[in-house]
Chains A and B, each alone.
Chain A
């Protein structure tokens, strides 16, 4: 690595419980450079940037700026060194105004003291800042909770640019930005680069990376695979660096053969979230559902599962009409949901594997109100063996498991209660590539056994690699129903973002 670089991170390691999120990662970047960080979900990009911005402390490693070693143990210290970050999770206070969020921690004051806030100046400066950055049309007095997700992202970006930073970290800024705001952001990035700011840009969208980055560092499973110049690599090289294996190795082929109609949905709607949704799912089919954040994918899955009952339309499972008003009714009809946020609504973290796997099947392992411990143990152990769960002891606490194994616990729970329709919402979020492949194999095995799988994902390679057919959602409506062979990354994005096929992002920007 070049020793003359402005920013150097050396030997950075970080462990979360049972998983090593970063292992001896090195990174070097220059002022006046747009340096992209790419990698799959869970590769460690965000963790590395959280360490640089002082939000997380590394377990080991050294960071230096301009050859000076620095300590960045709080966000405040990082700010003082001119490092600002736009995090993936919003750090906005919903019930406060745009201006107050932008100037959080440094609201302008009046008089000699630094106590009394000058609100008039705060609103004035916030408006001037937003206009200066190119984001006109936002009222600095508006509450954050009244803004769209895209507008909230703009506020996040403005917040990081109150004082011009030396190092600006953008963590997946485009994920929720509308198209026009994204082109404003790219113009802004070019301007900052010309003013010799170092921009660290996290993304997993190749088009963006190739458009904006000067150099690209690839992370895989918590390790830095390498840094390359943008003009020296192609997309395929990057993919190989990111996943470390070929397409066929990741997405194993499935013995084809669709069965009869299993799930049929017509005219399904829920106010403010989605409307007019209709599709069918066959036995043995993996149906992909792609859409950007906020497109209504998750709301749809939750409705099918009865967690938030649909207002209009009909659902049929095996031809029988189902009106799920609670998850209990959906589970009885054979529908299961693996949620997006497994820690929040998928697992009871402080309980054992055994308890979690049994949760939906207590009736199978009890007599009256008494649990048959022997039967429970044998049923759970059998599923654990099938899924190659690690550790194999069913008494282990779920909290201590890795992300991939936690996900297997959830799958085991639903397999145990004889699922017919499996709804998977981002099933591989935050698990490493090895566990990912295992989950893919499992999905294939389930489909081959006749289960119908609805695979919701925002990772295009995953949707394209796994699905027989792909549905696309945008703004609560179904806008595409594609056969596997007519789908491509470009086509999916066009449908999901609502742009006509035509000029590429680069041309549109020029």
Chain B
């Protein structure tokens, strides 16, 4: 983070951040300042580690949401994918080995994303409608699946992933950071990553350049499903159990993080760096309001305000 403060210019150029998007850094800095002033416990390492673990779920989902928003779409089915994959990763451990259960859960995430992408790309349906429909289907499937009896999960499942530590750092945030670096590299340095970003700006231009738009759309939604699934697995591993009511409203937090970080609904803006800042901002707000025992209703009001504050300066003239 130090380099950010020292040389915004070079950093900006290399990470392809627009000046108008720097609002997310401003929001974040203000939040940190306010937090450390009003709360004695905020800047303790215990609290910071706590925040880092709390943001993992939204952090992972937001990567996938970013990829989809860059194509000009949106994915409302991520919240229930978190629930279904979390439940499968824990529930299936009674009938198969832990790695196999995780593998199945990841595959289910990919299939849900692939189905979304296929419907959107092949039949030119609106992403909002398609993923609204799959949201219902997957949520229902989660409740159906959760009715089968469960046995306790493999203790290794908790200690390795969601509850594990490497040195003093919890494992899950490290996994998340690694995925952000990967996502940044994918979006800025690889051919499919650039194609995905271009589709959101001018789909016809991409098609006329001889690029397979449909395949890239499907890929984008599969990536989104994969990250929702990963988030579900890590969440259930941290808590040791999964419930079918997991993940309600998570899609909105992810959209909020992407948008605070410079993402534009409909494509044409947003990136991994900004999204990470968006996730951090939302995490800090939650943490702070929790410390002061503010009711969650007020938390939602504050979050809504912050989203508006992030979007207003970037509106089209």
Is chain B found bound to chain A in the same assembly? yes
Chain A residues packing against B (C-beta within 8 Å): 53, 55, 74-76, 79, 85, 87, 90-96, 100-101, 104-105, 107, 109, 114-117, 119
Q: Mark B255-286, 1 if CB is under 8 A from A, else 0.
A: 00000000000001100000000000000000
Query: For the complex, what is the distance from the CA of A93 to the CA of B205, rounded to whole Å?
Result: 7
Task: Give the nearest-CB partner of A103 in chain B.
Answer: B209
Q: Are B210 and A95 in contact, CB atoms less than 8 angstroms apart? A: no
Q: Mark B201-223, 1 if CB is under 8 A from A, else 0.
A: 11011111111000000000000
Chain A positions within 8 Å of B124 at CB level: none
Q: Are B194 and A92 in contact, CB atoms less than 8 angstroms apart? A: no
Kindly name the residue among A76, A87, A104, A116 whose own CB sees the greatest number of chain B CB atoms within 10 A: A104
Contact A114-B194, Cβ < 8 Å, known A92-B205, A104-B206: no
Chain B residues packing against A (C-beta within 8 Å): 189-192, 194-195, 197-198, 201-202, 204-211, 268-269
13 extra A-B contacts, CB within 8 A, seeds A91-B205, A116-B189, A117-B194 = A85-B208, A90-B205, A91-B209, A96-B194, A96-B201, A100-B198, A104-B198, A104-B205, A104-B209, A104-B211, A109-B191, A116-B190, A117-B190
Contact A95-B191, Cβ < 8 Å, known A55-B208, A76-B210: no
Query: For the complex, what is the distance from the CA of A94 to the CA of B197, rounded to whole Å?
Result: 11
Closest chain A CB from B206 CB (angstroms): 7
A-B contacts, 15 listed (Cβ < 8 Å): A76-B210, A79-B210, A91-B205, A91-B208, A94-B201, A96-B197, A96-B198, A100-B198, A104-B198, A104-B209, A104-B211, A105-B195, A105-B210, A115-B191, A117-B189
Q: Are A100 and B194 in contact, CB atoms less than 8 angstroms apart? A: yes
Chain B positions within 8 Å of A117 at CB level: 189-191, 194
Task: Give the nearest-CB partner of A122 in chain B.
Answer: B194
Chain B positions within 8 Å of A53 at CB level: 208
Consensus secondary structure, chain B interface: helix
Closest chain A CB from B9 CB (angstroms): 14
Query: For the complex, what is the distance from the CA of A75 to the CA of B201, rounded to whole Å?
Result: 19
Find B206's partner among A55, A93, A94 (CB 8 Å cutoff). A93
Q: Are B202 and A92 in contact, CB atoms less than 8 angstroms apart? A: yes
Query: For the complex, what is the distance from the CA of A301 to the CA of B250, rounded to whole Å?
Result: 47
Task: Give the nearest-CB partner of B211 in chain A.
Answer: A105
Task: Give the nearest-CB partner of A118 in chain B.
Answer: B189
Query: For the complex, what is the distance from the CA of A445 to the CA of B202, rounded to whole Å?
Result: 43
Chain B positions within 8 Å of A114 at CB level: 191
Contact A107-B201, Cβ < 8 Å, known A75-B209, A95-B268: no
Query: For the complex, what is the distance from the CA of A173 to the CA of B210, rounded to whole Å?
Result: 22
Chain A positions within 8 Å of B190 at CB level: 115-117
Chain B positions within 8 Å of A107 at CB level: 191, 194
Chain A positions within 8 Å of B206 at CB level: 93, 104-105
Chain A positions within 8 Å of B201 at CB level: 93-96
Closest chain A CB from B274 CB (angstroms): 14
Query: For the complex, what is the distance from the CA of A92 to the CA of B207, rounded to whole Å?
Result: 11
Query: For the complex, what is the distance from the CA of A109 to the CA of B189, rounded to whole Å?
Result: 9
Query: For the complex, what is the distance from the CA of A119 to the CA of B185, rounded to whole Å?
Result: 12
Query: For the complex, what is the distance from the CA of A45 to the CA of B192, rounded to whole Å?
Result: 34
Query: For the complex, what is the distance from the CA of A459 to the CA of B173, rounded to whole Å?
Result: 63
Task: Give the nearest-CB partner of B190 in chain A.
Answer: A115
Chain B positions within 8 Å of A87 at CB level: 208
Across chains A and B, the number of contacting residue pairs, with CB separation under 8 Å, is: 61
Contact A94-B202, Cβ < 8 Å, known A55-B208, A75-B208, A105-B210: yes
Q: Are A95 and B205 in contact, CB atoms less than 8 angstroms apart? A: no
Closest chain A CB from B17 CB (angstroms): 12
Closest chain A CB from B68 CB (angstroms): 17
Contact A95-B208, Cβ < 8 Å, known A107-B191, A109-B191: no
Chain A positions within 8 Å of B211 at CB level: 104-105
Q: Are B210 and A91 in contact, CB atoms less than 8 angstroms apart? A: no
Query: For the complex, what is the distance from the CA of A125 to the CA of B268, rounded to whole Å?
Result: 25
Kindly name the residue among A85, A92, A93 whose own CB sees the greatest number of chain B CB atoms within 10 A: A93
Query: For the complex, what is the distance from the CA of A116 to the CA of B189, rounded to whole Å?
Result: 6
Contact A91-B268, Cβ < 8 Å, known A104-B209, A109-B191: no
Query: For the complex, what is the distance from the CA of A104 to the CA of B192, rounded to whole Å?
Result: 11
Chain A positions within 8 Å of B191 at CB level: 107, 109, 114-115, 117
Chain B positions within 8 Å of A94 at CB level: 201-202, 268
Chain A positions within 8 Å of B205 at CB level: 90-93, 101, 104
Chain A positions within 8 Å of B269 at CB level: 95
Chain A positions within 8 Å of B195 at CB level: 105
Query: For the complex, what is the distance from the CA of A55 to the CA of B205, rounded to whole Å?
Result: 11
Task: Give the nearest-CB partner of A101 in chain B.
Answer: B205
Task: Give the nearest-CB partner of B16 in chain A.
Answer: A97
Task: Give the nearest-CB partner of B199 in chain A.
Answer: A93
Task: Give the nearest-CB partner of B185 in chain A.
Answer: A116
Chain A positions within 8 Å of B208 at CB level: 53, 55, 75, 85, 87, 91
Chain B positions within 8 Å of A75 at CB level: 207-210
Closest chain A CB from B284 CB (angstroms): 29
Chain A positions within 8 Å of B207 at CB level: 75
Task: Give the nearest-CB partner of A144 in chain B.
Answer: B201
Query: For the complex, what is the distance from the CA of A90 to the CA of B208, rounded to whole Å?
Result: 11
Kindly name the residue among A74, A95, A114, A116 whose own CB sees the greatest number of chain B CB atoms within 10 A: A95
Contact A91-B204, Cβ < 8 Å, known A75-B210, A96-B198: yes
Task: Give the nearest-CB partner of A119 in chain B.
Answer: B189
Query: For the complex, what is the distance from the CA of A90 to the CA of B197, rounded to whole Å?
Result: 18
Task: Give the nearest-CB partner of B267 in chain A.
Answer: A95
Task: Give the nearest-CB partner of B197 in chain A.
Answer: A96
Closest chain A CB from B270 CB (angstroms): 10
Closest chain B CB from A80 CB (angstroms): 8
Chain B positions within 8 Å of A104 at CB level: 198, 205-206, 209, 211
Task: Give the nearest-CB partner of B269 in chain A.
Answer: A95
Closest chain B CB from A456 CB (angstroms): 24
Chain A positions within 8 Å of B192 at CB level: 115
Kindly name the residue among A85, A91, A92 whose own CB sees the greatest number of chain B CB atoms within 10 A: A91
Query: For the complex, what is the distance from the CA of A143 to the CA of B204, rounded to whole Å?
Result: 18
| Complex A-B, nearest 4 residue pairs according to Cβ-Cβ distance, in ascending order | A76-B210, A93-B201, A105-B209, A91-B205
Query: For the complex, what is the distance from the CA of A79 to the CA of B202, rounded to whole Å?
Result: 19
Chain B positions within 8 Å of A85 at CB level: 208
Contact A93-B210, Cβ < 8 Å, known A109-B191, A114-B191, A117-B189: no
Query: For the complex, what is the distance from the CA of A93 to the CA of B199, rounded to whole Å?
Result: 8
Task: Give the nearest-CB partner of B203 in chain A.
Answer: A93
Closest chain A CB from B64 CB (angstroms): 20
Closest chain A CB from B53 CB (angstroms): 32
Chain A positions within 8 Å of B204 at CB level: 91
Task: Give the nearest-CB partner of B270 in chain A.
Answer: A95
Task: Give the nearest-CB partner of B193 in chain A.
Answer: A117
Query: For the complex, what is the distance from the CA of A79 to the CA of B269, rounded to whole Å?
Result: 29
Kindly name the residue among B189, B194, B205 whose own CB sees the greatest number of chain A CB atoms within 10 A: B205
Closest chain B CB from A108 CB (angstroms): 10
Task: Give the nearest-CB partner of A92 in chain B.
Answer: B205
Chain A positions within 8 Å of B194 at CB level: 96, 100, 107, 117
Chain B positions within 8 Å of A101 at CB level: 205
Task: Give the nearest-CB partner of B195 in chain A.
Answer: A105
Task: Give the nearest-CB partner of A91 in chain B.
Answer: B205
Query: For the complex, what is the distance from the CA of A321 to the CA of B191, rounded to whole Å?
Result: 58
Closest chain A CB from B20 CB (angstroms): 12
Query: For the complex, what is the distance from the CA of A94 to the CA of B18, rounded to whole Å?
Result: 14
Chain B positions within 8 Å of A95 at CB level: 201, 268-269
Find B210's partner among A74, A92, A116 (CB 8 Å cutoff). A74
Q: Are B189 and A91 in contact, CB atoms less than 8 angstroms apart? A: no
